[in-house]
Amino acid sequence: MHPILEDLIGLLRLERIEENIFRGDSRDIGSPQVFGGQVVGQALSAAQNTVEGRIAHSLHGYFLRRGDVNSPIIYEVDRSRDGGSFSSRRVVAIQHGRPILNLAASFQVPEEGLSHQAEMPDVLGPDGLKDLTEVAKDMLEFIPSKMRRFLTDKRPFEFRHVEPVDFEVPKKSPPRKHVWIRAVDALPDNPVLHQNLLTYVSDYELLGVATLPHGLSFTRGSVIMASLDHALWFHSEVKMDEWLLYAMDSPVSSGARGLARGQIFSQDGRLIASTAQEGLMRVVDPDQWKPRSKPGSQN
């Protein structure tokens, strides 16, 4: 297996400290704090470790504080309920003695039922599209040095944008974006693992769609962005080593917050999962802006 992907899988496997307490490490991917998808993915993994014979169908998380990439994260699981078909779990992620994430997750015994779904968008397929790291390398002169590593480092997933990406002078455009995503190598046939990986990657790209109508660029420092919450619903079996289309849109932004939604389709058109996220969007003068908080503080 590709070492970068193998490392991510190991990151999502937590160390069990007590019956309902787990510990996880972090990876520095070039962002100013622990990547939110990592914390949510690890929190889901902690909850999964307390459930048997049931698969996650939804999760809702609130980001409370910025995570410190240099310190381990402790995950405490509350086994809220185990019913005949559903199990509920609450997870608190803790760093430096304070919570950085609250997560609720629900699990269900697999069963058949009524079925319908939204249609997959009619967009270009992944073949022939450039990976995001290739696009970024073509525009290095327009990307601030502190952002280059985040955009150009090798990642566990391929990201191929359907719409053009412009790091130099982003133009105002409708709040819609389509990105093809796939793990960089084949994966074991483990449904829990594939759900964890989808949870991790679902935090990529999503909030940025809320900036498109305003022509803002996070690479230029003109907007400060931070995820406030993240929700994910699983509808069908996930295969992260096959191409998935992440179709995103933003219905509204107001009050220094943006709302983004996503639908994740398999290449043959099945709706695999749905997402929603609200995030902080503060427009600033990059020459005058100073961080209002450090890791471990609130926004």
**Residue 259 forms beta bridges with which residues?**
252, 278
266 is catalytic: no
> How many beta carbons lie within 10 A of that of residue 50, not counting itself?
17
Q: Where are the beta strands (DSSP E) in 83-222?
A: 86-95, 98-108, 157-161, 176-183
State the Cα–Cα distance between residues 200 and 211, nearest whole angstrom. 22
Which residue in the block uniquely carries the two structure tokens 């990529």? Answer: 204
Catalytic residue among 195, 202, 217, 227: 227
203 is annotated as an active-site residue: yes
Q: Spot the catalytic one: 106, 195, 203, 263.
A: 203
Kindly report each contact of residues 160-166 with a partner whose C-beta sits within 8 Å and lies 24 or more positions away, as own/partner.
Answer: 160/126, 160/129, 160/130, 160/131, 160/132, 161/129, 161/130, 161/132, 161/135, 162/123, 162/124, 162/129, 165/132, 165/135, 166/139
For residue 112, count CB atoms less than 10 angstroms from its CB and return exposed for 0-12, middle for 13-18, buried for 19 or more: exposed
277 catalytically annotated: yes
Query: Active-site positions?
Result: 203, 227, 277
